[in-house]
Amino acid sequence: MISFDKQSDKIQQTQMVVRTVAENMMRPVSRQMDEDEGAIPWDYINFMHTAMKSMGAASLVPQPESNGTADKRPRATYQLMAHNIEGLSWGDAGMYLCTPRGGLGSAAVEAAGTPEQKKKFLSRLNEEDPIFTAMAITEAQAGSDNSAIQCRAALDPGTNEWVLNGEKIFVTAGHKAMVDTDGFVVVWATLDPEAGRAGIRSFVIEAATPGIKITKKEKKLGIRSSDTVTFTLEDCRVPFENMLGDPEIKEKQETKGFKSAMQTFNITRPLVAASAIGVARAALEELKRLLAGQGVEIRYGLPRQKLTNVEREVIDMDCMLRSSWLLVLKAVWMSDNGQPNALEAAMSKLHAGEVVTKITQKAVEILGPLGYNRELLLEKWFRDAKINDIFEGTGQINRLIAARQLLGYSGAELR
């Protein structure tokens, strides 16, 4: 089971690196990167790429195996990731999302790809120059309901290539993957809209592939260092072997490929939750520091009726943060030990999304004008926080997933 006695030597070692990076490379430029939306933190990206090559990429951020042998991943890998993602997000959540080599695209390849596909695409993460990967799922009419995807993929018998047409919106790191670096994006498309989820497959599209074009770059509330784009696909031709999963549509059942792709989220949702907790911890620590500077001491251990209102607020925030972290640790421990964790992944993401929103908002409220202005990073953390309640499944969707798991209902029975 999970041990709370002592962190592993590997976690302690990498946390020292993460803390140094967060304090010296992220915090000093955090405001600048937020103001200059669209700027790319190349110093951070190049440093992290080099550091991950020397230390082992999985030590710092989500990093699939590059040899197609995910079963040989060292135990506690996802626990290690959670600790370090939390620390990097404490530094700056937007810059953390600019960490190269990993990403949802490579996670999807690991989850649903063949050994040959993993070797072909994931080995590229170890090249000399950093690359990014992305995953394109969301469409204007298909947000949380993946069965509504309309982007079409059809096989051209003459060339044995897949031809994709459609539009994808809100693609995280899409510009970095397809323009700024020689990466790839995993696009979800349907072979047959009438088949629902059973007809959906994912396709690896590499940078410089004709027919895929960025048509919009979003201006966002928070995480502004991280790019979010819209792709259009017009007769985009993809090699047959770049499809993840089985091309055969099996009537009235989801294929292994689709299920494997969805398993990606059971791994990544707790890691998103860890990022949220890093932002929340940053805000809470700053609040405590500023209160202490004004002579406000938080007297832990006293009955609530003997505490001031501010003390009660801070202690409640502490409780929320710690309970959310425990949910994350449980979910990633289960991932490391090969245990089904759909319920725990959904609960950790749901809880952390709510907690980071509440803590950052409350910190701004307690400090009033000081929390609202731009002299401090509190207002930025407030803006960065909200995305954690939205991407990788909104709070409402994760609540629905958790309810299905607890009550034993299928997606068709409980919507």
Structure tokens at 182: 């020689």
Q: Which residue has the higher pLDDT, 75 or 80?
A: 80
399 shares its domain with 264: yes
Distance CA 162, CA 236 (A): 8
Give the pLDDT confidence score for residue 69 in this predicted structure: 43
Neighbours of 68 (CB within 10 A): 20
Distances in Å between the Cα of 60 and the Cα atoms of 10, 14, 51, 85, 95 are 11, 7, 9, 7, 14
CATH number at residue 391: 1.20.140.10
HSE of 56 in the Cβ direction (CA atoms, 13 Å)? 13
Nearest to 152 by CA among 167, 134, 140, 133: 167
Residue 66 reports pLDDT greater than 50: no
In a domain, 415, yes or no: no
What pLDDT score was predicted for residue 75? 61
C-alpha of 24 from chain center = 23
Task: Give a yes or no: residue 1 inside a domain.
Answer: no
Picking from 241, 257, 273, the residue at the C-terminal end of a domain is 257
With a cut of 50, say whether residue 197 has pLDDT above it: yes
Q: What is the pLDDT of residue 373?
A: 94
Q: Which two tokens stand for residue 402?
A: 């958790």
Give yes or no: residues 27 and 141 share one domain.
no
The average pLDDT across 60-64 equals 53
Question: Predicted confidence band at 67 (pLDDT cuts at 50, 70, 90)?
Answer: very low
Residues 92 and 225 sit within 8 Å (Cβ to Cβ) = yes
- Indicate the helix (H) or strand (E) that contains 400: helix 395-407
The position carrying tokens 């725990």 is 344
Instruction: Write out the catalytic residue numbers.
Output: 392
> What average pLDDT does the chain have?
89
Q: How far is CA 38 from CA 32, 129, 220, in A?
A: 11, 20, 10
158 pLDDT more than 60: yes
Position 258 confidence tier, pLDDT thresholds 50, 70, 90: low
pLDDT at 413 > cutoff 60: yes
Quick one: pLDDT band at residue 63, thresholds 50, 70, 90?
low
Three-state DSSP at 37 gives coil
Which tokens hold the place of 310?
Answer: 């501010």
Domain annotation covers residue 413: no
Write down the pLDDT at residue 250.
62
Region 93-111: mean pLDDT is 88
The pLDDT of residue 272 is above 70: yes
Q: DSSP state, 131? A: -
Per the rule left: phi > 0, alpha: psi between -120 and 50, beta: everything else, 227 is beta
| Euclidean distance between CA atoms 140 and 211, whole angstroms | 20
Give domain status of residue 303, yes or no.
Answer: yes
3-state secondary structure 48-112: HHHHHHHHCHHHCCCCCCCCCCHHHCCCCHHHHHHHHHHHHHHHCHHHHCCCCCCCHHHHHHHHH
272 & 245 share domain: no
pLDDT band at 241 (very low <50, low <70, confident <90, very high): very high
CATH of the domain at 192: 2.40.110.10
pLDDT at 144: 75
CA torsion angle 76 77 78 83 (round to 10):
80
What is the domain extent for residue 314?
258-407
Average pLDDT over residues 148-163: 95
* 412 domain-assigned: no
Domain identity same for 139 and 120: no
Same domain, 73 and 196: no
pLDDT at 229 over 60: yes
Q: Are 203 and 330 in a shared domain?
A: no
Residue 382 has what pLDDT? 98
pLDDT at 121: 94
3 located within any domain: no
Q: What is the structure's pLDDT at 150? A: 93
Cα dihedral 35/276/258/165 (nearest 10): -10
Identify the pLDDT of residue 251: 55
Distance CA 51, CA 88 (A): 14
pLDDT band at residue 259 under the 50/70/90 scheme? low
Query: Is residue 87 within 8 Å of 278, Cβ to Cβ?
Result: yes
Asked whether residue 404 carries a pLDDT value surpassing 50, the answer given is yes
pLDDT digits (tens, 9 = 90+) for 341-371: 999 999 999 999 999 999 999 999 999 999 9
CA-to-CA distance for 37 and 22, rounded, in angstroms?
19
**End residue of a domain, out of 66, 96, 126:** 126
Residue 34 pLDDT greater than 80, yes or no: yes
Paired tokens of 59: 């030590």
pLDDT at 71 over 50: no
Residue 397 DSSP one-character state: H
Distance CA 157, CA 100 (A): 37
Question: Based on the domain organization, do 267 and 331 belong to the same domain?
Answer: yes
Q: Is the pTM of this model over 0.85?
A: yes
Token pair recorded at residue 356: 């980071």
Residues 198 and 109 in one domain: no
Specify whether 354 is located in the same domain as 333: yes
Kindly write down the DSSP assignment for every residue of 291-327, as one continuous string: HHHTT----TTS-GGGS-HHHHHHHHHHHHHHHHHHH
Q: Which parts of 207-296 are beta strand (E)? A: 212-217, 228-239, 243-244
Rounded average pLDDT over 302-320? 96
At residue 168 the predicted structure's pLDDT band, cuts being 50, 70 and 90, is very high
Number of domains in the chain: 3
Residue 325 tokens, joined: 């972290």
Q: Which CA distances in Å does 265 have to 10, 20, 80, 104? A: 25, 29, 18, 9
Q: Are residues 177 and 250 in the same domain?
A: yes
Structural domain ending residue among the three candidates 96, 126, 156: 126
Identify whether the C-beta of residue 348 lies closer than 8 Å to the C-beta of residue 399: no
Res. 248: pLDDT tops 50: yes
